[in-house]
């Protein structure tokens, strides 16, 4: 019996797709990656995932897990591999408002978690553009970030427990909803962010938080990033840690936004540093707009702030968010040759930008930079439209960005992960001892190298 | 040249203690563990730690790292081993108020971090009884908890980066201060809580938070734990997540406290569930007492709360804290034969207590239970004074406690770790697949098994 026959026996023929039936599983969202899987498998339970992995392990067949396929680094590319879609595992195993947890299978869509939490007056705070497609297994395997990380942390911080199927098919049950658990090595956090190279996450216990009852949102203008960071600290202390977003859009962002979408033009003459800030409160009866206005007035008076426009209606609030959320659209109006996702220590963003300006002046004087940043997390999406597009030139620019970020104590991958596209960068810029520890762990947990081969590890 | 001679060459003779000079390093704080180390080494730098481990690895000599030696599970017991004291590595490498980070070496004492943060109007929130002795390397290696976990998380949540010396002496540099970093496996969190069995943490980047400017503290009485949990959620939402402590003291706790320390007697007739709550604000001019009183009045009116006494002075606040902080003292007035540190999902504490009552009724009808809990974290310090003290009987009680906790989705070790004392419990109650993954990782990173041998892993 062939491998595919055995898989059909295991999952039922309807859940083993081959040939033309795999049409929806051969490309990724970015359009950069295309592949032909050996087959697409659609298991419906942890037991089936386990049986598939036993078989794959026995036969040395590569397995690439995939959720919503919304990753940006080719992490789900599955050339010649069994593509393991978790989409059918979409059950909410438990919703527990008293314990503030949801236990969800890997194929549950992020937006479903939002909706379910909302039904109980709660919120699952993780959110980003692909929320309508991204799934639990994917956002955990990539440790996704997004625009609420400042207040609630990334995917890792919102996950209390996981169930994982290992390369050999064994099921590791770490599915607890505990806030304190020092019973052995932190295998949960090792699996989260491992991009499916150490195991397949099949379910997770996720943390819920009380839902905000009111928001205050503003667009601010000031001169320097140092000033913006100082203001962030004032707003954090002055709001009791209620800052949910602090998003940096430089003057060149505002200029292009106003040109391409006049209805979203900056309401004041753009400053060097423009920031969209939002605070939220869970306190019934509290007016966060009044609180924010008081804080901003003080900053305007002492000169640490040049401009401030506070949204006074939900429509105005949506408009400010749309200004920020148009980032991808206005970035990609011209082909971006180099788009990155770097993180810096909070106080070193300006230094990074200055150094990159110097590097680009030498490397490519015609290059144009376009950027937007989750400033509160030190996370810059730094894109370059280069003066010329030879692969080696693009690689040199990429290397310069990664190198400058790492030299300043930063990271070449803040929230998008490594996948295929940043493997070479990882090899060049990660601490070599850490790389060798990663390789040792991979060899220990997946000795045949069947789990998402060719990803993350150099 | 003997090993000790080579170590003397390396560190200087003053920093290689043997014989009587090791007197201060042969016992642990609990009085349960005693050992005779081969020598005590006091390296002064990461390079020296690295050289020691190279030598230990070469010669297959066990190495037990120790910080303030305040652990509760014998994790620093070092019979026949090189005891590696990190105490001389007590430098603050960087204090960066703008980035809200402190980079501290492993030998820095927790209280020093508190003092340094306070100088900048900030706080390093981790705190517990041993703060005057516990050191960075120790509180990270045990992933310490304490009484602020509810708001700020445990040691792991407060650490952004680490420097680790591996078993073979290589230095792994993960010393970044980033809020987002998806550049490879989460080796930081793997090392944190590994109790020195995978590497020796030599330095860390720690997170600082804005210092509260005012507190409101109260003692509450109510009928059920379910009611207490519902109230916690109301207080969290109603204070914007400002609850710093929510500590459960049952009626038997209050009764004993009042008997042994009349000056700390409960200000009302103790209820089944008594809770010390504290909220704190970082907002200048805000009155958290008024906020707390408003929230408590509503709860008193709708009957979800029976008693409430709010501290109206710092002296009264201190008194409420002392009631809670007397736990160890009033627990140990009679020899405790079984003291534990279990965690439960937030909504299952009562079920655990009820089940244990039933178990003890059979196992040991004369047994007396004494407990106190970090209720907001689901963490119970559950002690039993048994009717008889044969080792096998005590082991049966311990097994019952661990078993019931795990059966309810809990953990037999919430914040104290495993060390020596909970190895057997780990072997019996941890998911067997997780145990085998732990063993595989240990073998991959410390193939000669020289790092803290006999600890944590079964």
- ipTM comes to 0.97
Give residue B108's pLDDT.
Answer: 98
What is residue A41's three-state secondary structure? strand
Say whether B334-416 and B214-329 share the same fold: yes
Give residue B141's pLDDT.
Answer: 98
Give residue B147's pLDDT.
Answer: 80
* pLDDT band, very low/low/confident/very high, at B210 (cuts 50, 70, 90): very high
- Compute the mean pLDDT over every residue in chain A, rounded to the nearest whole number: 96
| B378–A282 C-beta distance less than 8 A | no
Q: What residues are paired with B173 via a beta bridge?
A: B163
Q: Is the pLDDT of residue B30 over 90?
A: no
Give the chain B residue whose CA is nearest to the CA of A144.
Answer: B182
Residues of A in contact with B173 (CB under 8 A): 431, 433-434
Topology (CATH level 3) of domain A334-418: Alpha-Beta Plaits (3.30.70)
A115-154: pLDDT as tens digits: 999 999 999 999 998 999 999 999 999 999 988 899 999 9
Query: In sequence order, what are the residues at sequence separation of 6 or more whose Cβ sits closer than 8 angstroms to the Cβ of residue A12?
Result: none
Query: Residue A20 carries which DSSP code?
Result: G
Domain at B334-416, CATH class? alpha beta
- Taking the domains of chain B in order of start, what are their residue ranges? 3-87, 92-210, 214-329, 334-416
B387-437: pLDDT as tens digits: 999 999 999 999 999 999 999 999 999 999 999 999 999 999 999 999 999
Give the rounded percent of residues in chain B with a pLDDT score beyond 90: 94
Pairing of strands B39-41, B82-85: parallel
Give the rounded percent of residues in chain A with a pLDDT score beyond 70: 100
Domain at B214-329, CATH class? alpha beta
Alpha helix ranges (H) inside A270-429: 288-301, 314-325, 327-331, 349-363, 391-407, 423-429
Give residue B179's pLDDT.
Answer: 94
Alpha helix ranges (H) inside B344-457: 349-363, 391-407, 423-429, 432-445
Give the chain A residue whose CA is nearest to the CA of B231.
Answer: A98
A296-315: pLDDT as tens digits: 999 999 999 999 999 999 99
Instruction: Please state the rounded mean pLDDT for residues B224-239.
Output: 97
| A282–B241 C-beta distance less than 8 A | yes
Q: Is the pLDDT of residue A28 over 90?
A: no
What span, in angstroms and rounded, lies between the C-alpha atoms of B404 and B353?
Answer: 9
A86-114: pLDDT as tens digits: 999 999 999 999 999 999 999 999 999 99
Topology (CATH level 3) of domain A92-210: 3.30.465
Q: Is the pLDDT of residue A385 over 80?
A: yes
CA distances from A241 to A161, B212, B390 (A): 26, 11, 52
Q: Is the pLDDT of residue A456 over 90?
A: yes
Query: Residue B15 carries which DSSP code?
Result: G
* pLDDT band, very low/low/confident/very high, at B454 (cuts 50, 70, 90): very high
A7-22: pLDDT as tens digits: 999 999 999 999 999 9
Q: Is the pLDDT of residue B361 over 80?
A: yes
CATH (residue range B3-87):
3.30.43.10
CA distance B204 to chain A (A): 13
A392-407: pLDDT as tens digits: 999 999 999 999 999 9
What span, in angstroms and rounded, lies between the C-alpha atoms of A39 and A79?
Answer: 10
Q: What residues are paired with B248 via a beta bridge?
A: B275, B373
- Compute the mean pLDDT over every residue in chain B, rounded to the nearest whole number: 96
Instruction: Please state the rounded mean pLDDT for residues A344-353.
Output: 97
Give residue B273's pLDDT.
Answer: 98
B76 is written with which tokens? Answer: 């620093």
| B170–A186 C-beta distance less than 8 A | no
Residues of B in contact with A437 (CB under 8 A): 166, 172, 185, 187, 445
CA B121, B124, B126, B130 dihedral sign is: negative
Give residue B31's pLDDT.
Answer: 82
Determine the angle formed by the axes of helices B225-239 and B288-301, rounding to 10 degrees. 140
B79-114: pLDDT as tens digits: 999 999 999 999 999 999 999 999 999 999 999 999
């Amino acid at each position: 019996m062939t491998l595919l026959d055995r898989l059909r026996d295991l999952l039922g023929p309807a859940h083993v797709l081959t040939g033309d039936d795999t049409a929806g599983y051969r490309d990724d969202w970015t359009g950069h990656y295309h592949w032909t899987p050996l087959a697409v498998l659609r298991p419906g339970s942890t037991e089936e995932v386990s049986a598939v992995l036993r078989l794959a392990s026995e036969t040395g067949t590569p397995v690439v897990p995939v959720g919503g396929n919304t990753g940006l680094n080719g992490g789900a590319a599955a050339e010649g591999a069994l593509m393991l879609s978790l989409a059918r595992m979409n059950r909410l195993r438990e919703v527990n408002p008293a314990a503030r947890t949801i236990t969800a299978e890997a194929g549950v869509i992020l937006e479903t978690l939002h909706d379910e939490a909302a039904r109980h007056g709660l919120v699952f705070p993780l959110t980003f553009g692909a929320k309508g497609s991204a799934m639990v297994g994917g956002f955990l395997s990539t440790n996704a970030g997004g625009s609420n990380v400042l207040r609630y942390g990334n995917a890792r911080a919102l996950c209390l427990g996981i169930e994982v199927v290992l390369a050999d098919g064994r099921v590791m049950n770490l599915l607890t909803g505990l806030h304190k658990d020092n019973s052995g090595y932190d295998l949960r956090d090792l699996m989260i962010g491992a991009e499916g190279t150490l195991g397949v996450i099949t379910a997770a216990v996720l943390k819920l938080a009380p839902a905000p009852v009111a928001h205050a949102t503003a667009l601010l203008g000031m001169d320097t990033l140092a000033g913006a960071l100082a203001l962030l600290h004032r707003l954090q202390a002055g709001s009791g840690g209620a800052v949910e977003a602090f998003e940096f859009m430089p003057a060149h962002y505002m200029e292009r936004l106003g040109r391409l979408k006049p209805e979203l033009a900056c309401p004041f003459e753009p400053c060097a540093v423009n920031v969209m800030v939002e605070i939220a409160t869970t306190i019934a009866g509290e007016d966060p707009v009044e609180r924010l206005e008081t804080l901003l007035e003080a900053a305007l008076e002492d000169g640490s702030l040049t401009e401030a426009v506070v949204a006074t209606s939900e429509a105005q609030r949506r408009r400010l968010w749309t200004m920020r959320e148009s980032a991808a659209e206005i970035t990609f109006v011209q082909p971006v040759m180099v788009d990155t996702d770097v993180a810096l220590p909070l106080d070193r963003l300006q230094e990074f930008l200055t150094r990159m300006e110097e590097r680009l002046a030498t490397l490519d004087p015609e290059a144009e930079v376009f950027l937007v940043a989750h400033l509160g997390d030190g996370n810059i999406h730094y894109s370059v439209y280069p003066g010329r597009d030879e692969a080696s030139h693009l690689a040199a620019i990429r290397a310069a960005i990664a190198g400058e970020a790492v030299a300043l104590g930063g990271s070449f991958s803040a929230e998008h992960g490594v996948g295929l596209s940043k493997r070479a960068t990882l090899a060049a810029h990660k601490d070599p001892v850490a790389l060798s520890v990663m390789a040792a762990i991979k060899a220990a947990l997946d000795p045949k190298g069947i789990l998402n081969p060719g990803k993350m590890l150099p």
